[in-house]
Every structure is written in C-alpha cells, then in structure tokens.
Amino acid sequence: MSLIDLSGVQKWYGEYHALRGIDLQIAAGEFFSLLGPSGCGKTTLLRTIAGFEGIDAGTLRIDGLDMRGVTPDRRPTNMVFQSYAIFPHLTVAQNVAYGLRRTADGREEKARRVGEALEMVGLGGYGGRRPHELSGGQRQRVALARALVLRPKVLLLDEPLSALDRKMRETMQSELRRLQRQVGITFILVTHDQEEALIMSDRVAVMFEGAIAQVASPQALYSRPADRRVADFLGAMNFLPAEVRDGRVEIAGLGACEVEPEQVIGAGGMAEAGMRPEAMTMLDVQPGEGLREAAGTIADRAYYGDMTYYMVELPGVPGHVTVSMKNRPGSAVLDVGAPARIGWDPRAVLLFPA
C-alpha cells in the first residue's frame, strides 16, 4: 500500500485551474521530488498534501486514511519552509522545541528529543546559539530539526535550499539525502532545479500546467522522457528535423539510420530527433570508434574547465546543435569558425512526434 495516494485531485483558485487531475502514489521511505517550471502547481500540490489547501475534487489518502476535513496539525506530515521561517529571538534549542509545544511530553523528555533532533542534523552542541550566530546552511538545519522532532511520517520540503549559495546548497543536498536514508521518513521535495531533483530523488514527478507529465526514476526520466517537454526541461537536448521513411530515419544534418522501437517516443510519421549533447562527440578532439560522421562548422564554444560545449552549425538544421566534451589533460580545444567533424551514435537518438 502506498503511504500517499492521490486520485483525480483537482484544485481551483477562483477561475484558475491549478491542479488538473493528479494521480500519484508515493511509497513509505521514498525520497520523492516534484519538479517543474514556475507556476506549474508543485507548491500547491505540496500544500494540498500538508492540508494547507483543500481540494475541489478527487481523493487524498495518507496511510490509508482519507484526509478530507483533516487539519494540517492532525496529519502525519510536517512542512519545512525556507530558513527564514525560524524565530530570530529564540535559541536554536527553543526553535526546535517549538515543534513540540503541543505534545504532552514532560520537560526532560522534550529536552531529550530536541537534543536528538539537533544531533540528527549535525548541530549537537549548537542548542544555545541564536539564529544570527549561524550560517545559512545551519539555519536551514534548524528548520529541518524543528520538523523532524515530531517524527512525522512524511516531511514536506518547499524549495528548502533555494536561499543558500551554490557550495552550501551542494553540501545540504548530500546531507539531506543522507539524513533521509538514516531516518527512513518519506521526503517530498518541491524544486524547480532539475539537477537537484536528479541528485536527490528516488523518483521524480515532472509537472507542467497543473498536471503530471511523467513520474519515474532520475535515470529513466533522463534516458526515456515521456514527451518532448520533459526531454527539453530535464537537461539539454538537441532537436533536429527528422523524417521516417520505409523504417529508416532521415535526420537533418546528420544522415540516415535505423532505430529500435524503444527509441521512438511518440507515433511515427513526421518527427523530430532528439540527441543529448554528451551523446555526440567532436571527432577532432576524441576519435569515436564505430560512430557515424557528419560535417559542420563551430559557431561558438563555451569553456567550463572540466567541459567544453561546442555550438555547431549543421547543413539544413536551423540554429545549432550543442556537443559537450569532457576535457582531459592535454585534450585540444577547437576554435570558433573551424570545420567540425561530429561523431554520433544512432543508438542515442530519440524520436518525437513533431
């Protein structure tokens, strides 16, 4: 049985249809992410699960119980907001104990649970500090400890890392993941950052315009997106005009090839071919055994230290395709304007209906 079970959930804000028929099951112990562009409804969905928003149609069950009319404080969920949601005038320990204010535990038991929660998030010994004496990442951990101290079955996290700088964010991503494995609580994370969703989650739901486009593991989302929008939103993908004829695919700028049925995302006929930047290679930098060859011109490049991205013009292709190359010690960096020999693998092609 799923811990969280949504079926046909609809939500309207006046005239605006914010959730358009959500069916979703989340298992106990999962690290699950809701991913999508701004305004797609992920926060609304999270707040619906928490009970801060009612639903207009459909059912929401948690742990087998219908949540209709159940207030947030009576649900087995707890929500973590951004770091500024902690009280500046209380100490770290008082902030965490705030989560316990309605429990019947005695003073000693409360102190023990606060200490335990602070240990969990790596803040043992910080109980007496005030929020202004903490870093952004530490403040975020206080907010986490305050939610964990109640031992909810489900922890709901609404963009909890968005206020942190890049380095701190990366640290907290791996810490959150470690913490989730350790405590075994179901985590549901809202994020618009696709990298964050891929790194942290067991499964991800990709949302557009109030509906779920795909639910899958990070690997499955990336390698077999359900449609063009998912492919485009998750990582980079080159789209090339393509035509299917007599079981063969003619890809503009690259050439003809055969594809296996599992490489076809939609129905046949007029189509677009999708290729990830890392599925193509610059043959003048790195020879590719057994790859097909195509010729183009380097229109631009972006050097990232560990990677170089080449924007290559191909004949008959509007715009350019992006090819990413891992830089190895001594490997060449090609010049803008130079001719480019591209290597591509027909097995890395995905076909979409146009």
The encoded tokens of residue 259 equal: 């594809």
Q: Is 44 in the site for ligand ATP (CB under 6 A)?
A: yes
Following DSSP, what letter does each residue of 300-337 receive, concatenated? EEEE-SSEEEEEEE-TT-SS-EEEEEE--TT---PPTT
Part in contact with ligand ATP (CB under 6 A); list of ranges 10-18, 25-33, 67-75, 307-315: 10-18
Residue 52 vs 98, nearer CB to ligand ATP: 52
Angle (deg, nearest 10), helices 166-183 and 136-148: 20
Binding status of residue 49 toward ligand ATP by CB under 6 A:
no
* DSSP state letter for 103: S
The secondary structure element, H or E, covering residue 144 is helix 136-148
Residue among 20, 28, 29, 39 that touches ligand ATP (CB under 6 A)? 39
Query: Residue 350 CB: number of other CB atoms within 10 A?
Result: 24
Helix, strand, coil percentages, rounded to 5, for the chain: 30, 35, 40
Binding-site member from 3, 6, 40, 249 for ligand ATP (CB under 6 A): 40
Q: Which two tokens stand for residue 168?
A: 């701190």
175 CB contacts (<8 Å, ≥6 apart)?
121, 122, 141
Tokens at residue 339, please?
A: 């001719």
Q: Minimum distance between the CB of residue 158 and ligand ATP, rounded to whole angstroms?
A: 8
Residue closer to ligand ATP (CB basis): 19 or 185: 19
Q: How far is the CB of 38 from ligand ATP (least distance, A)?
A: 3
Residue where the block lists tokens 């795909």: 214
Q: Is 56 in the site for ligand ATP (CB under 6 A)?
A: no
Distance CA 304, CA 282 (A): 16
**Residue nearest ligand ATP by beta-carbon distance:** 43
Rounded to the nearest 10 degrees, what angle do helices 107-120 and 166-183 cross at?
Answer: 120
Give min distance, CB of 192 to ligand ATP, in A.
5
Report how many helices (DSSP H) and strands (DSSP E) the chain contains, helices first. 8, 20
Is residue 42 at the binding interface for ligand ATP, with CB under 6 A as the rule?
A: yes
Closest contact distance (angstroms) between CB of 189 and ligand ATP is 12
| Surface-to-core class of residue 339, CB atoms within 10 Å of its CB (0-12 exposed, 13-18 middle, 19+ buried) | exposed
Residue 348 is classified by DSSP as G
Structure tokens that stand for 323 in this block: 């090819």
Contact between 15 and ligand ATP by CB under 6 A: the answer reads no
- Taking CB under 6 A as the rule, does residue 50 contact ligand ATP? no
Q: Specify the residue, 35 or 271, whose C-beta has the smaller distance to ligand ATP.
A: 35
- Least distance in Å: CB of 56 to ligand ATP? 13
Instruction: Name the minimum Å distance from CB 46 to ligand ATP.
Output: 8
In the list 8, 16, 56, 217, the residue contacting ligand ATP (rule: CB under 6 A) is: 16
Measured from the CB atom, the residue of 12 and 309 that comes closer to ligand ATP is 12
Give me the amino acid identity at 350. Answer: L
> Given the rule CB under 6 A, which of 13-21, 133-141, 290-298, 305-313 is the region that contacts ligand ATP?
13-21
Which residues on neighbouring strands pair with residue 341, listed in sequence order?
295
Q: Under the criterion CB under 6 A, does residue 180 sit at the interface with ligand ATP?
A: no
Q: Does 303 bind ligand ATP (CB under 6 A)?
A: no
Number of residues that bind ligand ATP (CB under 6 A): 12
CB of 11 to ligand ATP, least distance (A): 8
The contact pattern for ligand ATP, residues 134-173, with x = CB under 6 A and - = no contact, is ----------------------------------------
- Site for ligand ATP, rule CB under 6 A: 13, 16, 18, 36, 38-44, 192
